[in-house]
């Protein structure tokens, strides 16, 4: 199967009306949308998603942030989508994110950085299994041969 990543538009991105803009960036790049839902998650679920960060001082604030409103959970697929997705998103701290990236263009503070993207193929696999237990939607784009040589 082609590489997949888990992308989540955080509650601030939903509240600020950035859902369409963010989806458009991944679509126009040529990645394929293979899963999509608007969902509010409970504290225990958010803690599981961010389990690797449980020792960090900002952990409880981070969990409060993620459960503060609905998020848009997505699976995106394509060649190198994990690494390229992180580039489209930009550096964790928007103060260091390049203009042209999502965080560089739409965020100011690290604790309100609009979007999440898996940091490796292995975390993508885990995060997709957590957020999409039924797996991804199987479809093929009719544009495939216009995007890949």
Q: Encoding tokens for residue 131?
A: 């957020």
Q: How many residues does the chain have?
A: 149
For residue 130, how many C-alpha atoms fall within 13 Å in the half-sphere facing its CB?
21
Under rule CB under 5 A, which residues in 99-138 are in contact with Mg ion? 119
**Which helix (DSSP H) or strand (DSSP E) does residue 115 occupy?**
strand 115-117
Query: Binding site annotation covers 10?
Result: yes
101 binds ligand IDP (CB under 6 A): no
49 is an active site residue: no
> Partners of 115 in the beta sheet?
9
Tell me whether residue 29 or residue 112 sits nearer to ligand IDP (CB atom): 112
Looking at the Cβ atoms of 105 and 119, the one nearer to Mg ion is 119
**Annotated active-site positions, please?**
116
Which residues contact ligand IDP (rule: CB under 6 A)? 53, 58, 62, 92, 110-111, 113, 116, 119
């Amino acid at each position: 199967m082609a590489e997949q990543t888990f992308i989540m538009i955080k509650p601030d991105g939903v509240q600020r009306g950035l859902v369409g803009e963010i989806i458009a960036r991944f679509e126009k790049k040529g990645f394929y949308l293979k899963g999509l839902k608007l969902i509010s998650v409970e504290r225990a679920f958010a803690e599981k998603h961010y389990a690797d960060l449980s020792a960090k001082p900002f952990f409880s604030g981070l969990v409060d942030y993620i459960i503060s409103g609905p998020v848009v959970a997505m699976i995106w697929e394509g060649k190198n989508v994990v690494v390229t997705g992180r580039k489209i998103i930009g550096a964790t701290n928007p103060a260091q994110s390049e203009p042209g990236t999502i965080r560089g263009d739409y965020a100011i503070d690290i604790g309100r950085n609009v979007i999440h993207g898996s940091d490796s193929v292995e975390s993508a696999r885990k995060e997709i299994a957590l957020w999409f237990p039924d797996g991804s939607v199987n479809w093929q784009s009719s544009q495939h041969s216009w995007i890949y040589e």
